[in-house]
Structure 1
Amino acid sequence: MTPNRTLRHGTALAWRNLVKFRHTPDQLLDITLMPITFVLMFVFLFGNAVSGDWHAYLQFVIPGIAVQALMFATLGSAISLNTDIRTGVYDRLRSLPIARSAPLIGHILGDTVKYALAVLLVFGVGAALGFRVHNGLAGVGAAAALMLVFALAVCWIATLIGVVARAAETVQALSLVLIFPLTFGSNVFVPTGKLPGWLQSWVKINPVTQVSDALRGLLLGTPVGPAVTRSLLWSAAIMALFAPLAVLAYRRGPR
């Protein structure tokens, strides 16, 4: 199977994943409502306590919430993949004369659109509250590219969980065990320097922290430091580890 045919098959299946929402739009509720809830809740809950003014806090927290929304969006993706596998949809796809990897490629490409929607909602609500970009179109483009790279890496973790889990409840449990330490054990909501010393060691190496810091620098025009490089290295490491594992688990099939 040539790469062009594999990509064509994967794109067709990605469209299938998106068309499903026409018939079951309720599956978009978590992607649409959760980012809005995150922004409103955390800005007004922590804003005055952390920065003394929620307007100032808004500039700090919105890039981090965008990363958090992306992480939580992977939960719905993993559950959707697991449901398709357990109900026999992927058995039907295996019987078709298409590339073996096309269903996974289609799943990931379709989910990338959902991740983009979640991130756009975060920045849209943030802009309505007063969040502003200070680094021009170049900064926005670089931030979007970085988010895309990180999303493509993280979605392989969700794919692996969706393939190996025996039920949707297991998917949710495994995903939350991963998401909570990464998102809440970071500087998404509170600057690293204000956290307890024992926690700072983990926060400083956390990939969510690196991506959040990189987005703040790229969007707000503040010094980026090594955050962009570390974010790309983390993304490459995650993809190098979880992509082969997900493909191998998919080829073995459900147990």
Structure 2
Amino acid sequence: MTTTAASPVRPGAKRQSHVAADAITLLRRNLLHMVRYPGLSLFTILGPVVALLFIVYVFGGTLGAGLPGVDAGGGREAYVSYVLPGILMVTVASSAGGVAITAAMDITEGITARFRTMAISRSAVLAGHVLGNTIVGLIAVVLVFGVGLLIGFRPTADLLGWLSALGLIALTCYAISWLGVAMGIQAKSVDTASNWPLLLTLLPFLGSGFVPTASMPAWLQWFAQYQPFTPLIEALRGLLLGTDPGWNLGASLGWCVVIIAIGYVWSRSIYERRSVR
């Protein structure tokens, strides 16, 4: 009777499984942390919902009537369809503030230094924050989207459009989460951790999220057209409304890759430097 020797497990595979297991463990930790501090998650949801209701019911009639091909009578209904993709991207951008605060808490309270004494992958510590915030961001997007449906948003996407829109939102949440983690680790204190992420929240307002970029002054149009959130908003708008997103989809994917790379390199370098203090 012959026996077959077990095939050796490659060291690289061991390391990968170790990182994945650590990331899942820390993901659970961060989700529990968010349950214990629900205020961070509620702000991510309630802020965009209030902005959506305020803008639609206060300014929607006038702004909607100014959209191409819309008469004055259908202004508010048309504006809901126009503005909701922008509000969804505001929701994603707002999630960076929450993860920045939790990352800053770990750094300033010594949790990160404690992790270094344990057999935990350093990449997994960062990935736990990122994955946890991505899940919270997606939940917030679903809830804000539900409010949009209640006030009159009527998407016309087919199955491929829905799947593409969901994938684009998830990828954007993941990318923004990496940037938020880096900003949080960079912050000097927990109190200042949410300052830099506020700039991300402002970008959709300086793009095509609320008005067409063609209506802006010439000196602002260039920035509005080529900053990251404008192609993201236009691609999402096209996917949800069943129109061709054109080059915006490719530009959106490119921006997400760039943001992930910047966030990962930035957060990893600062984490290595600050966690040894």
TM-score, normalisation: structure 2: 0.87
Q: Is 1:49 aligned to 2:62, yes or no?
A: yes
Instruction: Give how far 1:101 is off.
Output: 1.3
Please tell me the residue identity of whatever aligns with 2:261: A
Q: 1:172 to 1:25 in 2, by over 3 A?
A: closer
Structure 2 unaligned runs (5+)? 1-13, 66-74
Q: Deviation string for 1:136-195 (max 9, x for gaps)? A: 222111011011112222222111111111112322222223432x22211100011222
1:204 maps to 225
Counterpart of 1:206, as a letter, is Q
Which residue number corresponds to residue 117 of structure 1? 139
Mapped contact 2:93–2:200 kept (Cα < 8 A): no
Structure 1 gaps of 5+ residues are: none
Which has the larger share of helix? 1
Larger Rg: 2
C-alpha separation in 1, matches of 2:200 and 2:41: 22
Paired positions, count: 254
Once the two structures are TM-superposed, the CA of residue 133 in structure 1 deviates from its matched residue by 1.5
Residue identity over aligned pairs, in percent, reads 35
User: Which AA in structure 1 matches 2:98?
Assistant: G
Q: 1:16 and 1:45 mapped to 2: Cα distance?
A: 41
Q: CA offsets, 1:111-143, max 9 Å, x none? A: 111110121122110001111220122211101
Matched residue, 1:241: 262
The DSSP-based 3-state class of the residue aligned with 2:120 is coil
In structure 1, the partner of 2:152 is 130
Q: Distance in 2 between matches of 1:196 and 1:46?
A: 20
| Equivalences for residues 156-235 of structure 1 within 5 A | 156-180=178-202, 182-235=203-256
Q: Report the AA paired with residue 105 of structure 1.
A: A
Q: Please identify runs of 4+ aligned residues in structure 1 that moved more than 4 A.
A: none
Q: Distance in 2 between the 1:220 and 1:22 partners?
A: 34
Distance 1:251 1:240 in 2: 17
- 1:52-74 per-residue CA deviation (whole Å, 9 max, x = no partner) reads 22111000110111001110111
Q: Is the 8 A contact 2:92 2:172 kept in 1?
A: no
User: After the TM superposition, which residues 10-29 of structure 1 pair with which residues of structure 2 at under 5 Å, given as runs?
Assistant: 10-29=23-42
Q: Is the 8 A contact 2:137 2:173 kept in 1?
A: yes
Counterpart pick for 1:80 among 102, 118, 140 = 102
Letter in 2 for 1:155: S
Kept in 2: contact 1:77–1:111 (CA 8 A): yes
> Which one of the candidate residues 115, 120, 123 is aligned to 1:101?
123
TM-superposed deviation, 1:22: 3.3
What CA distance in whole angstroms lies between the structure 2 residues aligned with 1:224 and 1:183?
A: 17
Quickly say closer, same or farther: Cα 1:22–1:173, change in 2 above 3 A.
Answer: closer
Give the letter aligned to residue 6 of structure 1.
V
Q: Is the 8 A contact 1:35 1:118 kept in 2?
A: no
d(CA) in 2 for partners of 1:154, 1:32: 16
Query: SS at the partner of 2:232?
Result: helix
- How many angstroms apart in 2 are the aligned matches of 1:135 and 1:230? 20
Partners of 2:274 and 2:208 lie apart in 1 by 38
